[in-house]
Amino acid sequence: MSTAAATTKPARVNLRRPDIMEAVREQVEQHYRSQIVEKLRQRGSFLEAAGLTVRLAKEFGFCYGVERAIDLAYAARKFFRDQDIYILGEIIHNPEVNDQLLAMGIKFLSGPHKSADIDRLTANDVVIIPAFGAQVEIMNKLKAKGCQFVDTTCGDVMSVWKRVTQNAKEQFTSIIHGKAKHEETLATSSRTIANEGGHYLVVLNVTETDYVCDYIRRGGDKEEFLRKFPGAHSPGFDPDRDLVSIGVANQTTMLRSETEDIQRRFRQAMIDRYGEDALDKHFRMFDTICGATQERQDALIQLLKQPLDMMIVVGGYNSSNTSHLAELSEACIPTYFIKNANEILSARIIRHFNLHKQQEVQTENWLPDGPVSIGITAGASCPNNLIDDAVRRLFQLRSVNVDEIIANH
């Protein structure tokens, strides 16, 4: 390939044209829509029969950003009919959705479905950027190859990028509340070091935050500090130098309450070290939690105020926002985190993901014989058809046909 060919910028293609979107909409709805969910929402989001009451959260399932990402991926397949299409990794954290992309002939460049290598791509190839975004280094490599991009990066994620980029330009280290190996956090942290002198540190929880706050107040063993955060800080990170001025950001799918707690702790640490009058020189924070993530957390909190015996959370086990819903719920009532209705093996046995063990487990005698009330919710990456399947499966265990109930009411 010539240098000119490799550096020629591909012509921009508008995949959101009405004709393309109309063709895609029917296919997407066929794969993911649920008439049962729509009808239950019209009925107040609950259904009762044979002693079983199922209540749906007011907000769950696909958010706008996820819908947009899926629409664009389907549109790419429609438009680039005769070209190879690749995706950097999972478009969202839901196995059913990613399996659909595989079935459509889209090839994965990383993860368990990897079937191609980024180094072998050419200017003739189309590359889908997932909703999480991508690291700057990877984007630069693809641009150098002249690949055609289909960028599905969520707008909320890009808002965080703007914040951390500004931090780096003003010599504020970005403290990112998130999971260091999560695709979104990797993409966000890469924006901090794209500017010379930019730095970042990723903290997972309050425990790690308190350790960093203690270091801010009193200093400590630099080598020990770095050992505690392997793979979670920028190259050349020096806590003595890089914790003097910080800006707190976050992975958009974390728990808002935890992020706010972390922000408060860092703010107080800076006040303790430098005084309130100097706070603006040493600390800044922004609300960068995704709106849809917060809506689903709020809806779950409201649902938990209903008389419930248990909760079922549906979604991908590697989905951050879905995991946090399960975490919120299990603090209140018995909760079963399942990837789909196939995990409901019988009225006696359910297979579900244990957040503490980080593995699937089986629980016996989970569903009582008598009257029982079950709440159902799902994260922003879970399609409605999976909720549909879960509702049908639960009533099937009581020998009830959901379609007949709804048709008669």
Structure tokens at 166: 């500004």
CA gap 274, 217 in Å, rounded: 9
Answer whether 373's CB lies under 8 Å from 55's CB. Answer: yes
Closest to 269 measured CA to CA, from 222, 206, 224, 227: 206
CA 18 vs CA 14, 21, 22, 24, 148: distances in Å: 10, 5, 6, 10, 21
Gap between the Cα atoms of 313 and 335, Å rounded: 7
DSSP tag of 343: G
DSSP per position, 110-175:
SSTTB-S-GGG--TT-EEEEPTT---HHHHHHHHHHTPEEEE---HHHHHHHHHHHHHHHTTPEEE
- 184 in catalytic set: yes
3-state secondary structure of 235: coil
Residue 139's φ and ψ, nearest 5 degrees, are: -60, -40
Block residue for tokens 């800044």: 284
d(CA 56, CA 44): 9
Label the pairing between strands 283-285 and 359-364. Answer: unpaired
User: Tokens 């979604």 map to which residue?
Assistant: 315
Catalytic residue, candidates 22, 184, 295, 404:
184
Instruction: List the strands of the sheet with 372-378, edge to edge.
Output: 46-49, 52-56, 372-378, 310-314, 335-338
Helices first, then strands: H and E counts in the chain? 17, 15
∠ at Cα 117 (115, 118), nearest 5°? Answer: 135
Closest to 66 (Cα-Cα) out of 249, 297, 315, 260: 315
Asked whether 239 and 215 are in contact (CB, 8 A), the reply is yes
Residue 260 CB partners (closer than 8 Å, separation 6+): none
Active site positions, annotated: 184
